[in-house]
Amino acid sequence: MKDKLLSVALLIGSTCGLAHTAQAQQGFGSGAGLPRNEITHVTGDLYRFRDVRHFGMFLVTPDGIIVVDPTNSRASAWLKTQLDERFGLPVRYVIYSHTHNDHASGGEAFAETATFIGHENMRHNLRKPAPDAPLPPRERLWDTNGDGLMQRAEVEGSAYYNAFDNLDTNADGALSRTEMWERQFGGEQVPPDIYYADQATITLGGKTVELHYTGRNHSDDMTVVLFPEERTIYTVDFLTPKRPPRTTLYGAFFPDWLDSLRQVEQLDFDVISPGHELPGTKADVIEQRRYMEDLVAAVSAGIAEGKSKEELVDTILMEDYDHLIEYDVSRAGNVIGVYETLMSTQ
Ligand SMILES: [Zn+2]
């Protein structure tokens, strides 16, 4: 695959970097008392910000700020106020981890000053499909009456079930392809100004941020953001330290996901700052990759033996991983998610 190297250096905003760094240190922790939002220091001029269970990041440079995942409109409005107060610098770049609207919404807070960047597959994910567009392969498995729509009973146990009435905007008792799309992608995301394919590099104010596409995993448009000087990566949804993935949520790509984790292992970093939960280390990547390898191997073996989905849920226990966060609630769902993904792509 051809590497596309994007190098952008902005010469706007000649404010003093040292002053802003000092200001940053002083401002630190002042958001910690807020129950919903807070900013925490990672290292150097790199920070993570919180919106309840979601986390984005930002890197402060003398020439402006690089934000990763504006998250949602409420969070980004709050973040903009914080950045203005603490640093007095404009946001020059917004990087998207992926298109899902619980991470990629809220960009409008920075739209006046920032260039938005995301993986090229965000382009098709942001495009609303026609109501009569065919269902994705896994959803076709659920479509037991074969009408190309999802009745309530057909989405039981999926991310669509609890949101069914909100999604069913024409109230016909079934979700079309368009109505399902709204669950993951609908909203007011500011589309990227720049789409990259395999790898991209942003330079701003003497600092560098790398964007790596490591293939399909939780989505087909996932960016791993690497801060080389800070030896930190930002990963969302497909790699959460000490928490199993959720393969049923919006579907998943196997075996691609495994290869994606192996590629992350090859990156040069010490710390993972994830989109959910607490930061971790490379050891967490290795554990996550092993979890996924064990899960996919067990489900594949069960399918080869002709076992049913229910038999696999009853017998694949993943006990080696019972120390992980949400192990109990993840286990059955992940067996089902891998089973359905493998069955729908055979
Ligand atoms: Zn997601």
CATH code of the domain containing 152: 1.10.238
Domain of residue 174, residue span: 129-185
Ligand 1 centroid from CA 309, angstroms? 25
Asked, for residue 39, whether it belongs to a domain, the answer is: yes
| Whether residue 146 sits in one domain with residue 106 | no
Q: Looking at the structure, do residues 81 and 145 belong to the same domain, yes or no? A: no
- Which pLDDT does position 246 carry in this prediction? 84
Please tell me the distance between residue 122's alpha carbon and the centre of ligand 1 in angstroms: 12
Distance 26 CA to ligand 1 centre (A): 34
- pTM, two decimal places: 0.87
* Residues 134, 20 share a domain: no
Q: Do residue 11 and residue 81 come from a single domain?
A: yes
**Kind and range of the H or E element at 115?**
strand 115-119
Residue whose C-alpha is closest to residue 55's, from 216, 235, 211, 261: 235
Asked if residue 271 belongs to a domain, the reply is no
Given this model, what pLDDT does residue 136 score? 85
Cβ neighbours of residue 166 closer than 8 Å, sequence gap 6 or more = none
Rounded to the nearest angstrom, the distance between the alpha carbon of 307 and the centre of ligand 1 is 30
The CA 13 to ligand 1 mean position distance, Å, reads 34
How far are the Cα atoms of 54, 119, 139, 183 from residue 244, in angstroms, in the given order? Answer: 16, 24, 22, 22
Contact 103, 71 (CB under 8 A): yes
**pLDDT, position 249:** 66
Structure tokens at 76: 């980004």
Q: How far is the CA of 90 from the centre of ligand 1 (A)?
A: 27
Neighbours of ion ligand 1 (CB under 5 A): 100, 237
Residue 304 Cα, ligand 1 centroid: separation in angstroms? 30
- Both 149 and 218 in one domain: the answer is no
User: Would you say residue 265 lies in a domain?
Assistant: no
Inside any domain, residue 261 = no
What is the predicted pLDDT for the residue at 345? 73
Within a domain: 306: yes
Q: Which of the 8 DSSP states describes residue 110? A: G
Spell out the alpha helix ranges (H) of 2-72: 17-27
Name the stretches of the chain with pLDDT < 70: 1-35, 249-250, 346
Distances (CA, A) of 24 to 27, 55, 59, 114, 274: 5, 19, 11, 21, 22
Q: What pLDDT was estimated at residue 35? A: 54
CA of 181 to the centre of ligand 1 (A): 13
